[in-house]
Structure 1
Amino acid sequence: MFDKALTATAVGAAMLLLGAGNLVAEPQFVGLDMAPTKVGTISDMANMADFCGTKPIKVALSDGWGGNGWRKIVRAEFEDEAAKCPNITEVRYTDGQGNPQKQIADIQGLIAQKFDVIVTYPDGGEAILKAMNQATQAGIAVVPYAVGESFPGTPGEDYLVVTTESVVGVGTTLADWTVKNLNGKGNVIVLGGTPGNPTSAAMAEGWKAVFAQNPGITVLEGPVDTNWDPAEAQRVMAGMLAKYPQIDAVMSDYGQGSMGALRAFVAAGRQIPLWPSQDANELGCFWKANKDANPNFKLAAVTARTWMVRVALRKAVAAAQGLSNTEPSIIQLPLAEDSASGDPALEPKCSDKLPPDAILSSMLPEDKLVELLAK
């Protein structure tokens, strides 16, 4: 399907095409349109059945760290999407365990085993690029997901395409909400994830720009590394509560991780402040239980977009089958919850039918979420 005997002239022509538009330039993917700069919404997403093709292929999800509920749900969404293609003969998952060198070794192992597709969340950011490039040069469709619009590297060379929410846009949206609900004045802490991860860095581009235009806002610290681990978030927030007598808002890029930080406020006997984050079942339930005793505890959330991995897999499978995929690569995320809006449709959500670490915006059926998180 891919003509690996392309002449240098043909490859050069393909490179010119990449500069002129959306066509992918690597020889094995010449002429495929992956719409790398196309922006859309969830309603613009495509169906996997359109890209399965007929060639038997092997697909893998290379995770930089798999140690929380969000990662478990992402993996399950990946496997659920892959199950829609009967010609996917193997679905593999690798966990870098927070060590960039291990994730690099994982990717190199997938190259050696001749996988056709590698979808990845590269927690190590740019440190993982060389391995991604090696996989791409080996003819593998590599797609990083949820890493932000400014992820380093070159689409069509280091990887096929980036599929991501507009992470800068998320930072902007949550910061705008924070400024509005603080009336332009207050002290803010921003909680991030693993050290050097691309998501917290991209989100910071958005909120830093907004706060810079509002001199009444003081960012006390951020993004603070929490490893996206509720226990670590509780530990670091306890330290900041001892350090700062006035905290008016806490922004977090992981909804479930917010729970550790919130427990630190409770343990310290401090009033809970404004809280912009991502959706999580336990977070919505906590808001409902604590909002009356904490009048400043307003909650806003964007979707935790565990389903972004599905977009990545569709793009990669399409390329492995020699097909274009022109669904949006960048998804805009509006607020999914906003307790300050007065709109009942935006009230934070809580389900007593699902475990605390469930993400209600997941595209997994409810019974699969229950089964997955009960393990």
Structure 2
Amino acid sequence: MAVVAGLLTATLALSACGGGADTSSENSTAATADKPLRSDDAAAIQALFTQATLADVNIGTVDKSIQDAFAVAAAQLPADKQKLALECWEKNTCTVPGGGDVIVGIADGFAGNTWRQYSKMEAILQALAYPNIGKIMYVDAKSNLATMQSNVRSLVAQGAKVIVSYNDFGDAMKPTYAAAQRSGAKVALYTTPVGSATKQDVAAQVLPDNCQLGKDQADATAAAIGGSGQVAYFNGTPGNPAGVIWNKCATDQFKAKYPGITVARSLDTNWTPDGYYKAASAVIASGAPVKAILTDYAEPMVQVFKAYQQAGVKPPAFITSTCNNGLNKAWSQAQGTPEAFDLYYTNGTNWTARVALTAAMEDLAGAELPEKIVFPQPFVKASATSWVQDRGEDYVESTLIPADLLNQMN
């Protein structure tokens, strides 16, 4: 692989793929009543961060909460805690034997894909490293704003002091998050923002620079197709805040640097396989000579490839945030055939749920946090090592979930 662009100056790691995280560390500090289990092995922490970002980004250059989160993630949870993590993940609510009085709520806007399920497990594993956490609850809004608002209020009513959330609804969630904080909970978001929120509304927002991400995605597109051609945007839920930002900034980058590249279509998919298949079918049926599809979720792009296969049309370049083993497999097997296509992608970002959990716990303990905790998300070009052949198609190569636990999830 080669790094095309990134939020930080970085070069790609020699081996970006793996069979699940090995979070063990010989040098670790045992958890105390108010502090988590964490590793003191700087090399192990850096190696885990390299795995997470798919690039040699120096962890010393990112926000302290990210550094702290990876020190926690690099310490191996005991077997009983890993077993409990699977129980929490399967049942959505669990009590931690011997845990403290902190209740954690994980409020998801939508749980219906692999990315969300991986992120859920990342948050659970991080929470189980904190001895003062005694209960974990997970709720799914099923893409409904009113349900999401009700779920957050319910978590507060049940005593949640930390709420980790993926926000699909933009600023519409700000009053609910702010009310949760006024009730004493600490709310931390990962990946998707409430753009107008202050720290009184949301304690921490763990985000990419979505505008820079859009610019980098435009640069990767130009690297794939050259300086001219039509492209399409495949978005998730209509109006999701991250999509609005990266769409605009990618378009602005095309106009500023690559005026020969124009956006022919922008379609919503609800981040479902069927949605992506229908979007691809619509592009094919339109007859527009689309040379690249830009999106922010890799897994269902396999359905886009299948739509082009079935139509007998050569696929365009795929430029996608996040990563997916099934897509890497399709890319690898298509090489050297008439169906070959270019593929650029980023790390999966599921691990940002861990950073949100740690940031919320730090805020609960009185730490001063910035309003936004920005994480790196460089684009890389697919290579011969991208497809991890001993893993399933839903595997995300940048996950920090231990391999044996992944085996039980799949």
* Kept in 2: contact 1:115–1:140 (CA 8 A): yes
Task: Determine the structure 1 residue equivalent to 2:346.
Answer: 302
Query: 1:325 Cα deviation (Å)?
Result: 5.2
Task: Determine the structure 1 residue equivalent to 2:300.
Answer: 257
C-alpha distance in 2 between matches for 1:42 and 1:109: 40
Secondary structure of the residue aligned to 1:90 is strand
Question: After superposition, what is the alpha-carbon deviation per residue over 1:195-234, rounded to whole angstroms, capped at 9, x for unaligned?
Answer: 2212211221321121122221111112x21111112100
Counterpart residue identity of residue 152, structure 1:
G
C-alpha distance in 2 between matches for 1:206 and 1:282: 28
Q: Does 1:46 align with 2:61?
A: no
Q: Residues 273, 294 of structure 1: CA spacing in aligned structure 2 closer, same or farther, 3 A cutoff?
A: farther
Q: Residues 265, 348 of structure 1: CA spacing in aligned structure 2 closer, same or farther, 3 A cutoff?
A: farther
C-alpha distance in 2 between matches for 1:169 and 1:347: 27
Q: Which has the higher contact order (CA 8 A, sep 6+)?
A: 2
| Worse overlay, 122-131 or 294-303 | 294-303
Counterpart residue identity of residue 154, structure 1:
A
C-alpha distance in 2 between matches for 1:128 and 1:248: 37
Query: 1:143 Cα deviation (Å)?
Result: 1.1
| Worse overlay, 187-196 or 325-334 | 325-334
C-alpha distance in 2 between matches for 1:41 and 1:330: 13
Q: Does 1:131 align with 2:131?
A: no
Q: Does 1:362 align with 2:362?
A: no
**What's the Cα RMSD here?**
2.3
Q: Does 1:166 align with 2:209?
A: yes
Write out aligned runs for 1:1-375 (5 A): 43=59, 44=62, 45-48=66-69, 56-147=101-192, 151-213=194-256, 214-222=258-266, 224-277=267-320, 278-294=322-338, 297-324=341-368, 329-335=373-379, 337-339=380-382, 347=384, 349-372=386-409, 374=410
> Identity of paired residues, percent?
25
Secondary structure of the residue aligned to 1:62 is strand
Runs of at least 4 residues off by over 6 Å = none
* Kept in 2: contact 1:231–1:260 (CA 8 A): yes
* Kept in 1: contact 2:231–2:265 (CA 8 A): yes
Task: Determine the structure 1 residue equivalent to 2:79.
Answer: none
C-alpha distance in 2 between matches for 1:165 and 1:56: 32
C-alpha distance in 1 between matches for 2:188 and 2:108: 12
Secondary structure of the residue aligned to 2:237 is coil
Query: 1:304 Cα deviation (Å)?
Result: 1.5
The number of residues matched between the two structures is 322
* Kept in 2: contact 1:55–1:321 (CA 8 A): no
Secondary structure of the residue aligned to 2:222 is helix
Q: Residues 132, 42 of structure 1: CA spacing in aligned structure 2 closer, same or farther, 3 A cutoff?
A: farther
Q: TM-score, normalised by structure 1?
A: 0.81
Task: Determine the structure 1 residue equivalent to 2:51.
Answer: none
C-alpha distance in 2 between matches for 1:114 and 1:192: 35
